Amino acid sequence: MIKVDKTQLQIHLSERYRDIKKPELKAVMMIQDELLSSLRDYLRGIGFIEILAPIIGPATDPGIRGAKQVSFDYYGTQFKIMSSMILYKQMAINSMEKVFALSPNIRLEPDETINTGRHLSEFRQLDLEVAEATYNDVMKIGEDMVTFCIKRIKTNCSEDLEILGRKLKTPKTPFKKIKHIDAVKYLQDKGYNVKQGEEIPWDAEGYLSKSHEDFFWMIDYPKTARGFYDKEDEDNPGILKDFDLCYPEGFGEAISGAEREFKYEKVRQRILNGGESEEHYKWYLDMLKEGTTPSAGFGIGVERFTRYICGLEHIWEAVPFPKVPGVVSP
Amino acid sequence: MIKVDKTQLQIHLSERYRDIKKPELKAVMMIQDELLSSLRDYLRGIGFIEILAPIIGPATDPGIRGAKQVSFDYYGTQFKIMSSMILYKQMAINSMEKVFALSPNIRLEPDETINTGRHLSEFRQLDLEVAEATYNDVMKIGEDMVTFCIKRIKTNCSEDLEILGRKLKTPKTPFKKIKHIDAVKYLQDKGYNVKQGEEIPWDAEGYLSKSHEDFFWMIDYPKTARGFYDKEDEDNPGILKDFDLCYPEGFGEAISGAEREFKYEKVRQRILNGGESEEHYKWYLDMLKEGTTPSAGFGIGVERFTRYICGLEHIWEAVPFPKVPGVVSP
């Protein structure tokens, strides 16, 4: 964790029109342009269709680890800005086998996340979903996609990487897979306050990421740590068929995804067990009741990927108009 | 104008998970994917850099013809969801010569726009800006870009166009240019209630679009009809260096853009004359005060372009998860 002076940062970011003229920020933006293009070229190349992500809606992703959603009045009904488009991806794969979108997301993270170096309240996920896929299928896509992008950026943006002083390594595939249960044990042995059945806190995840020299998967999260939409492993009750991809060198989480639960009654029960109301997820439950296509997918944060590629300490250097939790800026 | 039953439409759109399985909507989504890809390929091919559009911020575009912006509390300050990223584009061209972004926009349009067939409360603009450019320069880009996309879709999506029964014509360039003053005179002669110095109402614009068999530009809008950011023609006081592109066949507005006013004192005066507060646009005015790069640019609505290409009566058929003014749906 770093220690950021909020007032200083607020002054700094309110003058973004100065920073934006600097060669370092220009280099980041050139690399980000190549990254966006690489992501799309890779996905379209293997048959994905790009769809337009929702911006607002009556319900959004509840599984956002303590962040707040933005609610507002939409013609007399309470609407939210998307915290992720996960529910909508499951609708789209009823039409097409492989879909992706550049999804705009808002999560009002708690003020203290200013010190993690990797939280923004406004960010974009490259979100994808594949019909009839297993979680292993989409992990393979994630691994190949990340490698494709890094290779292309090393080739096409060598001068920009040099401006940033970044020595970017080409990842070695296949990536190592670590089960959540084993990661927790390992971190407990190292003295971290990590509990089985819970999400791994940011500092501990950062340590795990720092102790790796290459990308690695974390798999098989406990049911109690994730949203209602991730599928339980029938051979392994209490464990989900889900995964995170972690960057090496302490950059933390890259990808989060899973095989989806698509059975109406199971999802309904998990929504109720999570203390939420069925009415809130009406269209989604109606869809599951009628029958929806099984799928798997993931999201990758574009700013975090940019941060890793560019080797930046702070995520607000990885986006032209950054919104940092608790900081008011353009 | 069409006459839409709001309750019926609400029921229909709440069951989007059924519609999405239909071959017609799939064809639209396949064409939209090709459109997004064509837009980006064209722009990157002539040296544009893609940037990440802001989603929210302290100030957004006020020139939105009677629609309401969405406001919410952002860590103790009032923020808005972007109604357009226009102010931010002017910041970005201080770093790079040519920028574009797929910009998410929310405008709570009045309920009656449900009957225009071309208003959504949630939509995306392909927004671009060019440093040191004239309005004629960016009109040329718009013309070539639109033609490039249509040609490519005719080639790559012929089967999807056939499913929709759409005979899409390749536009003939250069497009005709009509001055706002002449368009108003013409419409007055046809009996429309149109006034000099004001925006042309939707029904009259629809008539003008219907009376054309090919794309046409409307140029030189009066200062009283547009936002504070469009540049006044110094040789022609009261007239702006701005433009709209209109689709033929009654599909109405495609593109809206201009050369930008970049002088601090002029913008400040126009903000005050428009009855708005300087404080509201603080970062933007600070930027202009320090000195910013002159530029020109435009935005093109992705859903409206999709609607034209596909020949759809209603714009809500041109997007997977439509938000129609006054209608609550996923």
pLDDT tens track for B247-265: 999 999 999 999 999 999 9
Which residues make beta-bridge pairs with B299? Answer: B127, B256
Q: What is the DSSP letter of A230?
A: B
pTM confidence score: 0.97
* Position B319 confidence tier, pLDDT thresholds 50, 70, 90: very high
Query: Which one of B54, B95, B320 has the shortest CB-CB distance to A25?
Result: B95
ipTM of model:
0.97
Whether the pLDDT of residue B246 is over 90: the answer is yes
How far apart are alpha carbons B298 and B300 in whole angstroms?
7
8 Å CB contact between A289 and A264: yes
Which residues of chain B make contact with A53, given a CB cutoff of 8 A?
104
Query: What does the pLDDT look like over B94-150, one tens digit per residue?
Result: 999 999 999 999 999 999 999 988 999 999 999 999 999 999 999 999 999 999 999
> Could you tell me the CATH superfamily of domain B6-318?
Bira Bifunctional Protein; Domain 2 (3.30.930.10)
How far apart are alpha carbons B174 and B152 in whole angstroms?
18
Q: Nearest-CA distance from B33 to chain A in Å? A: 5
Instruction: Please report where in the chains the tokens 């002088």 appear, as a residue.
Output: B263
Q: Nearest-CA distance from A181 to chain B in Å? A: 36
* % helix, strand, coil for chain A, step of 5: 40, 20, 40
Which residues of chain A make contact with B14, given a CB cutoff of 8 A?
283, 286
How far apart are alpha carbons A225 and A241 in whole angstroms?
12
Decide if A21 and B94 are in contact by the 8 Å CB cutoff: yes
- Assigned token pair, A282: 């009406």
- Assigned token pair, A16: 């973004």
Whether the pLDDT of residue B39 is over 80: the answer is yes
Decide if A58 and B92 are in contact by the 8 Å CB cutoff: no
Q: Which chain B residue shows the shortest CA-CA distance from A56?
A: B122
Which residues of chain B make contact with A29, given a CB cutoff of 8 A?
49, 51, 95-96
pLDDT by 10s per residue, chain A, length 330: 678 899 999 999 999 999 999 999 999 999 999 999 999 999 999 999 999 999 999 999 987 888 999 999 999 999 999 999 999 999 999 999 999 999 999 999 999 999 988 999 999 999 999 999 999 999 999 999 999 999 999 999 999 999 999 999 999 999 999 999 999 999 999 999 999 998 899 889 999 999 999 999 999 999 988 889 999 999 999 999 999 999 999 999 999 999 999 999 999 999 999 899 999 999 999 999 999 999 999 999 999 999 999 999 999 999 999 999 999 999
Mutate to test the interface with A, among B14, B46, B55, B300 (most CBs of A within 10 A): B55
CA angle A279, A283, A286 (to 5 degrees): 90
Query: Which one of B37, B81, B327 has the shortest CB-CB distance to A44?
Result: B37
Which residues of chain B make contact with A290, given a CB cutoff of 8 A?
17-18
Query: What does the pLDDT look like over B156-194, one tens digit per residue?
Result: 999 999 999 999 999 999 999 999 999 999 999 999 999
Decide if B17 and A91 are in contact by the 8 Å CB cutoff: yes
Which residues of chain A make contact with B302, given a CB cutoff of 8 A?
52
Q: Where are the domains of chain A?
A: 6-318
**What is the three-state SS of chain B?**
CCCCCHHHHHHHHHCHHHHCCCHHHHHHHHHHHHHHHHHHHHHHHCCCEECCCCCEECCCCCCCCCCECCEEEECCEEEEECCCCHHHHHHHCCCCCEEEEEEEEECECCHHHHHCCCCCCEEEEEEEEEECCCHHHHHHHHHHHHHHHHHHHHHHCHHHHHHCCCCCCCCCCCCEEEEHHHHHHHHHHCCCCCCCCCCCCHHHHHHHHHCCCCCEEEECCEHHHCCCCECECCCCCCEECEEEEEECCCCEEEEEEEEECCCHHHHHHHHHHCCCCCHHHHHHHHHHHHCCCCEEEEEEEHHHHHHHHHCCCCHHHCCCCCCCCCCCCC
Q: How high is the mean pLDDT of chain B?
A: 96
* Amino acid A1: pLDDT: 60
Decide if A321 and B52 are in contact by the 8 Å CB cutoff: yes
Decide if B51 and A32 are in contact by the 8 Å CB cutoff: yes
Decide if A328 and B14 are in contact by the 8 Å CB cutoff: no
Mutate to test the interface with A, among B44, B71, B95 (most CBs of A within 10 A): B95
Mutate to test the interface with B, among A25, A31, A55, A282 (most CBs of B within 10 A): A55
Which residues of chain B make contact with A16, given a CB cutoff of 8 A?
91, 283
How far apart are alpha carbons A146 and A167 in whole angstroms?
16
**Cβ neighbours of residue A39 under 8 Å, at least 6 residues apart?**
A126, A145, A149, A300, A302
Decide if B91 and A290 are in contact by the 8 Å CB cutoff: no
Which residues make beta-bridge pairs with A129? Answer: A99, A297
Alpha-carbon distances, residue B43 vs A21, A103, B160, B257 (angstroms): 22, 21, 24, 16
Comparing CA positions, the residue from A12, A31, A3, A9 lying closest to residue A308 is A31
Decide if A321 and B33 are in contact by the 8 Å CB cutoff: no
Mutate to test the interface with A, among B7, B14, B34, B52 (most CBs of A within 10 A): B52
Decide if A52 and B16 are in contact by the 8 Å CB cutoff: no
Which residues of chain B make contact with A124, given a CB cutoff of 8 A?
52
